[in-house]
């Protein structure tokens, strides 16, 4: 952990030194603007690490005050660095091909106009990405399961993942999400992990519990844990979610409405915390699952998808990837995962990886859109006598 923090702080410092250096060069002819730039950016640069330090020592309100500008600055820093580096890369390429760049050129490090344009463009990207994150889309997924469900012909479910309730995604975000869920009139709500994130104050926690209780789903709210439930303290988070009416399934299967099974798997993070993660066959055997009924599996991270295929489950629901969340990380995300977002079928097993209903860290999405999945399942009708 110490090594990770050290590397992270060094990288954070190097990126910001690079941005500050280019800003000072760009405003070299305008001392007042250079001073204002340095003042604003030093405050923003210090906001995030200071909020983490204060939050680590106490629940001081100053932490919350610093946290929001600090977390938004991470995105601004990300795009400022990429755009400034792109400009430098073009300038270096010109020199490589013996194309001179004079002081009046837009490619010059002292050109105020080009640096200002980069700054404005980065702010616009941040603003539009924030608006995108605040408005999750409704993704309708219609699937047919070739099994009878004790007379039930279909199921209307909501699938959510990666809400990350905590320091940056507060109760006001959850309130809008709950309204959208209830407006879709689900029979059941299925959470594919990372509902909660970091520790929050008691007052905010009570608001979230109250809002979660407002979700109307007659067949219940079922969830598997995500890696962030473990990072924030699994027992504490399970207690919080159960108070809100969400039933966490830790390598456990439950029969719902005598019609279908919901199977929740522990996240891969369990292994890092000294726990074990049972195989699907072992979970099904321990819970005496009847494989003749439809089987729905909740597994946070879309890893080893063939396990669900081999266990012949009917539907696997995952999250975790956020579909990259920020461009161009979404392009890298597609390389890492067999399926980083959307629908996949392996033999009889339907698989859906959600882009997530919230955001991790900055409430900004530039590489994907938050989503609420409306799942409409059709089951095989009972055979006539």
Residue-wise pLDDT for 109-156, tens only, equals: 889 999 999 999 999 999 999 999 988 999 999 999 999 999 899 999
pLDDT at position 59 is 53
245 belongs to a structural domain: yes
The token pair that represents 72 in the structure block: 């938004």
384 belongs to a structural domain: no
| Phi, psi (deg, nearest 5) at residue 281 | -60, -40
Q: In terms of domains, do 214 and 281 share one?
A: yes
Q: Which of 16-25, 108-117, 131-140, 227-236 has the lowest mean pLDDT?
A: 227-236
Which of 111, 89, 108, 110 lies closest to 100 in space, CA to CA? 108
Q: In terms of domains, do 85 and 226 share one?
A: no
Residue 358: CATH number of its domain: 3.60.21.10
**Residue numbers of the domain that contains 88:** 2-132
Mean pLDDT of the chain: 90
pLDDT at position 100 is 75
Residue 275: other Cβ atoms inside 10 A: 14
Domain end point (choices 82, 102, 132)? 132
Q: In terms of domains, do 115 and 251 share one?
A: no
What does 10-36 look like in DSSP terms, one character per residue?
HHHHHHHHHHHHHHHHHTTT-HHHHHH
Task: Give the pLDDT band (50/70/90) at residue 95.
Answer: confident
Which of 247, 111, 181 lies closest to 119 in space, CA to CA? 111
Query: pLDDT tens for residues 163-202?
Result: 998 778 777 788 889 999 999 999 999 999 999 886 666 6
pLDDT at position 50 is 85
306 bridge partner residues:
none
The token pair that represents 145 in the structure block: 């399961």
CB 189 within 8 A of CB 158: yes
- Beta-strand ranges (E) seen in the chain are 137-145, 154-160, 188-191, 221-223, 246-248, 252-256, 260-264, 295-298, 315-318, 342-346, 349-353, 371-379
Domain end point (choices 97, 132, 167)? 132
Q: Is 228 left (phi over 0), alpha (psi -120 to 50) or beta?
A: alpha
The token pair that represents 299 in the structure block: 């597994």
- H or E stretch covering 125: helix 112-134
Q: In terms of domains, do 104 and 197 share one?
A: no
276 belongs to a structural domain: yes
Q: C-alpha dihedral over 104, 110, 116, 122, to 10 degrees?
A: 120
Q: In terms of domains, do 111 and 150 share one?
A: no
Q: In terms of domains, do 159 and 101 share one?
A: no
343 belongs to a structural domain: yes
Q: What is the largest CA-CA distance in the chain?
A: 89
Q: What is the Cα–Cα distance from 264 to 225, expressed in whole angstroms?
A: 8
Burial of 12 (0-12, 13-18, 19+ CB in 10 A): middle
Which of 35, 15, 13 lies closest to 24 in space, CA to CA? 35
Q: In terms of domains, do 177 and 108 share one?
A: no
180 belongs to a structural domain: yes
CB 358 within 8 A of CB 164: yes
301 belongs to a structural domain: yes
Q: Can you state the percent helix, strand and coil of the chain, rounding each to 5?
A: 45, 15, 35
53 belongs to a structural domain: yes
Domain end point (choices 132, 163, 195)? 132
Query: pLDDT tens for residues 239-284?
Result: 888 989 999 999 999 999 999 999 999 999 999 988 999 999 999 9
Q: What is the Cα–Cα distance from 18 to 21, expressed in whole angstroms?
A: 5
pTM of the model: 0.90
Q: In terms of domains, do 249 and 271 share one?
A: yes
- Work out whether strand 349-353 and strand 371-379 pair parallel, antiparallel, or are unpaired: unpaired
Q: In terms of domains, do 144 and 119 share one?
A: no
Q: In terms of domains, do 49 and 165 share one?
A: no
Which of 174, 211, 216 lies closest to 357 in space, CA to CA? 174
Q: In terms of domains, do 152 and 116 share one?
A: no
Which of 333, 274, 272, 281 lies closest to 312 in space, CA to CA? 281
Q: What is the Cα–Cα distance from 353 to 1, expressed in whole angstroms?
A: 30
Q: What is the Cα–Cα distance from 63 to 50, expressed in whole angstroms?
A: 7
Q: How many domains does the chain have?
A: 2
């Amino acid at each position: 952990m110490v090594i990770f923090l050290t590397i992270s702080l060094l990288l954070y410092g190097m990126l910001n030194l690079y941005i500050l250096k280019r800003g000072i060069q760009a405003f070299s002819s305008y001392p007042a603007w250079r001073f204002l730039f340095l003042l604003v950016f030093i405050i923003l640069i210090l906001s995030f690490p200071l909020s983490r330090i204060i939050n680590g020592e106490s629940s001081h309100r100053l932490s919350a005050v610093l946290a929001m500008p600090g977390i938004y600055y991470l995105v601004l820093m990300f795009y400022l660095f990429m755009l400034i580096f792109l400009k430098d890369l073009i300038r270096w390429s010109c020199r490589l091909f013996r194309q001179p760049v004079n002081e009046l050129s837009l490619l010059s490090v002292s050109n105020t106009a080009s640096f200002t344009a980069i700054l404005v463009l980065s702010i616009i990207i941040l603003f539009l990405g924030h608006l995108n994150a605040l408005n999750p889309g409704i993704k309708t997924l219609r699937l047919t399961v070739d099994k009878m469900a004790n007379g039930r012909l279909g199921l209307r479910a909501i699938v959510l993942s990666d809400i990350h309730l905590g320091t940056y995604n507060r109760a006001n975000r959850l309130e809008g999400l709950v309204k959208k869920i209830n407006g879709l009139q689900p029979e059941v709500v299925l959470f594919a992990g990372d509902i909660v994130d970091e520790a929050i104050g008691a007052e905010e926690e009570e608001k979230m519990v109250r809002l979660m209780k407002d979700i109307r789903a007659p067949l219940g709210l079922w969830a598997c844990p995500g890696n962030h439930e473990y990072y924030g303290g699994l027992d504490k988070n399970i207690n919080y979610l159960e108070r809100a009416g969400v039933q966490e399934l830790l390598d456990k299967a439950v029969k719902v409405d005598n019609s279908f099974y919901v199977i929740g798997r522990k996240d891969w993070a369990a292994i890092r915390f000294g726990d074990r993660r049972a195989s699907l066959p072992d979970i099904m055997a321990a819970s005496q699952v009847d494989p003749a009924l439809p089987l729905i599996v909740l597994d946070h991270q879309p890893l080893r998808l063939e396990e669900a295929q081999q266990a012949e489950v009917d539907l696997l629901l995952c999250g975790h990837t956020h579909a990259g969340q920020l461009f161009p990380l979404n392009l890298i995300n597609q390389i890492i995962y067999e399926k980083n977002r959307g629908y996949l079928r392996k033999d009889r097993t339907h698989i859906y990886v959600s882009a997530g209903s919230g955001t991790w860290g900055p409430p900004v999405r530039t590489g994907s859109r938050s989503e609420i999945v409306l799942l409409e399942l059709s089951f095989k009708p009972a055979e006539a006598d």
